Amino acid sequence: MLDEEEPRQPSPDPEPGSGQAEDALFLDEKEHPEEEAPAASRKEKNGVIEALVLVLIALVLALTLKTYVAEAYEIKGKSMQTTFESGQRVVVLKAFYSIGRGDIVVFASSEDPAKDLIKRVIGLPGERIKVAGGNVYINDLKLDEVYAKHDERELRDSPIESRIRDDEYFVLGDNRPDSHDSRSFGPIPASSVKGKVVVRWWPPETLSSY
């Protein structure tokens, strides 16, 4: 039975370009893995640099926005009740805005320039204003103020009359009995205004635009 076994043919030499040759070439490349390490290291380093650049750009944009465009403020005190409550937060637009009657502005206090105040603009440049008995009169016409909070203490206040200069605004707090405003320190210079309130954003359920 052993004689019936066909003689084994010798294995042919691999032809150029055959699969074995390709395998040999592939194995030869794997013999030097250290050549791939520098490329991978450079790619990782570039990724870190890109991330740092993006963070730096984000910080610059944030600082630019805060300094020149908009800034968040926290309400402290009760002079603007019931429009704002203490602890609420608003966004103040510091550029690309105009001021009209009824707008709410943030400005530097004339008594303490390091302190910012928030009030509503009532009198505009060039107008004549009178505050008496809890009412406001602009050029002898009574102003309708649905936002203002009053009580009997205002009836005891002495009347105030003022001519607003061309570079000034007359501002009042909405909570008239508990507001330190232009009735005490007079009209404010336009140059002291830091911006106009455009959004109340905190708490979220009180979100509102102005």
Check if 192 is active-site.
no
pLDDT value at 28 more than 60 = no
**pTM, two decimal places:** 0.71
Segment 27-44 shows an average pLDDT of 56
| SS3 state of residue 112 | coil
Alpha-carbon separation of residue 65 from 89, 91, 137, 160, 177 (angstroms): 17, 12, 38, 39, 36
Residue type, 177: P
- In the annotation, is 79 catalytic? yes
pLDDT at position 64, please? 61
Q: For the chain, where are the alpha helices, taking DSSP H only?
A: 19-30, 37-64, 182-185
Out of 58-67, 70-79, 144-153, 167-176, pick the least confident: 58-67
Which one of 119, 149, 182, 196 is the catalytic residue? 119
Beta bridge partner(s), residue 108: 116
* Rounded-to-integer distance, Cα 145 and Cα 135, Å: 9
pLDDT of residue 65: 62
| Residue 51: predicted pLDDT | 72
Q: What percentage of the chain exceeds 90 in pLDDT?
A: 62
Average pLDDT value over all residues in the chain:
82
Lookup result for tokens 């490349």:
29
Nearest CA among 60, 53, 85, 88 for reference residue 74: 88
Average pLDDT rounded to a whole number, residues 165-169: 97
* Per-residue pLDDT at 25: 36
Q: With the CA atoms of 113, 180, 97 and 124 taken in that order, what torsion angle do they form, in degrees rounded to the nearest 10?
A: -110
Instruction: Flag the least confident range among 41-50, 70-79, 114-123, 124-133.
Output: 41-50
The single residue of 45, 66, 76, 79 carrying the catalytic annotation is 79
